[in-house]
Amino acid sequence: MISTVLYVLVVFALLVAISWTGYGSASDPLSIALSSLRAPTAVSYAVDVAALAATFAVTLSMIIAGARTTKQMGQDDLLPSWMGAGTKAPAVVVAGVMVASLGLGSVQSIALVANFGIVLSYMLTGVQVAIARRRSGAPGFSSPGYPSVQAFSVALSAAMLLGLGTQSLLVGALTLFAGLVVHSVYTHLRSNQGVASENTG
């Protein structure tokens, strides 16, 4: 909640500084706003340092969260079991994927593709809550405003996805498709191994 309020206040401050058309698709709107206001150089440097620190912190948190998710999927047999043993293998896999993403060419492109997965997960959460409520009638969790809030969430997330641009949608869709293919092949191989072990037993 606090982060949301801060982000909203920053956006309002940016719009008060100059018109939204002045930002275009720039990846550093704060720098543009400070330049238009003729802010002291020290303030601009402080904002740049804070932005770099925030980017570094977010990157570390994504590696940690991604490694934990990958490890849990390995323990649940959704990925090869060696990914669920220890913490080094999942971290190396996640870090490797993040390094490979540098091939997209710019930090802005990487951020847009990452936002595709985040916004898609938000949209699917609304769909999942609606399905759970429809199936069980009274699940063990509260969902105020059902189904209006969930429908609004899905519609808003879909609009945000479309606003990310063609590159984000294309790379995000290809990544999602590749993940589904890998998961399907892995589960098929596991099921065949289970059948073979039962036949030999």
Distance of CA 103 to the CA centre of its chain: 18
Q: If pLDDT is split at 50, 70 and 90, which confidence band does 57 have?
A: confident
User: Over 80: is that where the pLDDT of 15 sits?
Assistant: yes
What counts of helices (H) and strands (E) characterise the chain?
7, 0
Lowest model confidence (mean pLDDT) among 16-25, 64-73, 98-107, 114-123: 98-107
Task: State the average pLDDT for the chain.
Answer: 78
Q: What is the pLDDT of residues 175-194, one digit of tens each?
A: 888 888 887 888 887 777 76
| Residue 113 near residue 172, CB atoms below 8 Å | yes
Confidence (pTM): 0.62
Mean pLDDT value of segment 123-142: 76
User: Over 80: is that where the pLDDT of 152 sits?
Assistant: yes
Tokens linked to 18: 């100059």
C-alpha distances out from residue 64 to 20, 107, 160, 187, Å: 35, 20, 26, 26
Q: What pLDDT, on the 0 to 100 scale, is given for residue 104? A: 61
Coil/strand/helix, residue 30:
helix
Phi, psi of 38 (to 5 degrees): 55, 50
Alpha helices in 146-165 (DSSP H): 148-163
Contacts of 68 (CB under 8 A, 6+ apart): 90
Calpha distance 54→89 (Å, rounded): 26
| Residue 183 near residue 83, CB atoms below 8 Å | no
Lowest model confidence (mean pLDDT) among 41-45, 49-53, 58-62, 98-102: 98-102
